[in-house]
Structure formats: structure tokens, C-alpha cells
Chain A
Amino acid sequence: AAGVIQSPRHLIKEKRETATLKCYPIPRHDTVYWYQQGPGQDPQFLISFYEKMQSDKGSIPDRFSAQQFSDYHSELNMSSLELGDSALYFCASSQSRYEQYFGPGTRLTVT
């Protein structure tokens, strides 16, 4: 079965640079979620989109923005990167709003 696809899988950036993470949801899933997971921590919700509109917002820094496109893929844009932004970034998708299926994640390292 098709799964959530995330790219890139690994990303190394320097402080103050920008990064763009991409997410391709499972076909026919209409909702996309972004989570950030620091080392040894549980995933923290950042933002979600339903039918290309922002549906919920969590602890997402103002330096981050995201959108969902007409083909339902989503991009998380991160600017003025800080060392503390180093984490695993997961995208999840769902058809209903409850069963969220996670992608493999993008490991972002800020040096």
C-alpha cells in the first residue's frame, strides 16, 4: 500500500539558512499534518491542512510557514534556522480526521 512520502530524508543546513521540506500524502487523503520530534521527545504538532486550507495550528514558530497545494502535497518552509530547529520533522496524512499515517520523516541538522 502507498505510504506518505517525505523529501528530503536528510538535510544539513547552517544557522540563518532556509529549508523546505516536502510531503506527499497517501492518495485520496485530504488532510496533512506536520509534527516536530526532538531527540528523545514525543512528536509536537506544528500545523495541519484540510482541503488546502489551514485547519489547525500548534507550536509553530513564526519563522516557519507551510501550505498545501492543489495536488494535496504540502511544503514546510523554515527560515532563519536556529540550532534548536534540529529535529525529525514528520508529515502525516489522513482521510478521516482521526487515523493519521506518518511518513518516514526528514532529519534536519542545523550547524
Chain B
Amino acid sequence: QKEVEQDPGPLSVPEGAIVSLNCTYSNSAFQYFMWYRQYSRKGPELLMYTYSSGNKEDGRFTAQVDKSSKYISLFIRDSQPSDSATYLCAMDTGTASKLTFGTGTRLQVTL
């Protein structure tokens, strides 16, 4: 079983919808949580970076971490067709330098 689980989708939503993307993890040592957006054949782009439980907001994006449930979420408000991409969650224990990724959720925002 993978340390980080993420529904691969695809997830299709109409323009303007609120999107909820989620990851669960099993390693309680993970302390730093990131969301990356990856367009086809491009490098992952860092969207959000959080530490500890709670919410963090940046524009249309909100990242939520619940360490007690080992569950993280990314919410996208007022979704746009340009948001269509694969969204990867990633985690780090803080003592290792590598990121452990989820498999990514493919999002399609339709007009």
C-alpha cells in the first residue's frame, strides 16, 4: 500500500464550480504538505505549502490539513478551464529531503 493515497479521477466539473481534491496518508511522521499542479508534459508547479493542521488560503485556492485524520484537501473556488490539469499532493517528514507524492487527480473544468 502506498504511503499517500489519492483518487486518480478523472474529475469533471463545470466552470465556476468549487472543486475538492483530497489525499490520505499513513505515515504520521509527515509534517509538511504541498499541492502541485501539473499540466500535460510539464513540470509540477507548486501551488500551496502548509505545515501543521489548519487552513491556508491563497486566492482561489485553500489548503486544509487534518493531521488527526491523516487527511489533506485542496479547494479551488470559481474553477476555470485553465485549472484543468493533474493535481498532486506531496508530503515530507521534515527530516528527509525527498517528497512523497500521491498519484495525482486529473481535473477537467468544462465550459
Contact = CB atoms under 8 A, between A and B. Distances in A.
A binds B: yes
Interface of A: 4, 31, 33, 35, 41-45, 48, 50, 55-56, 58, 88, 90, 97-105, 107
B101 A105 contact: no
Given A98-B49, A98-B92, A45 B99 contact: yes
Given A102-B43, A104-B42, A107-B41, A42 B97 contact: no
B94 A105 contact: no
A50 B96 CA distance: 12
Interface residues of B, number: 23
Given A56-B96, A56-B98, A100 B46 contact: yes
Given A99-B46, A105-B43, A56 B101 contact: no
Of B34, B46, B51, B97, most A-chain CB atoms within 10 Å? B97
A43 B101 contact: yes
Contact of A104 (B43, B51, B92): B43
A48 B44 contact: no
17 contacts: A33-B98, A41-B103, A42-B88, A43-B88, A43-B101, A45-B99, A45-B100, A48-B97, A50-B97, A56-B96, A56-B97, A90-B44, A98-B32, A98-B34, A98-B49, A102-B36, A103-B43
A31 B101 CA distance: 19
A31 B98 CA distance: 11
A98 to B, nearest CB: 5
Interface string B73-102: 000000000000000100010101111111
Interface string B1-44: 00000000000000000000000000000001010100001111
B49 A58 contact: no
A31 B46 CA distance: 16
Nearest to A99: B49
B44 A102 contact: yes
A104 to B, nearest CB: 5
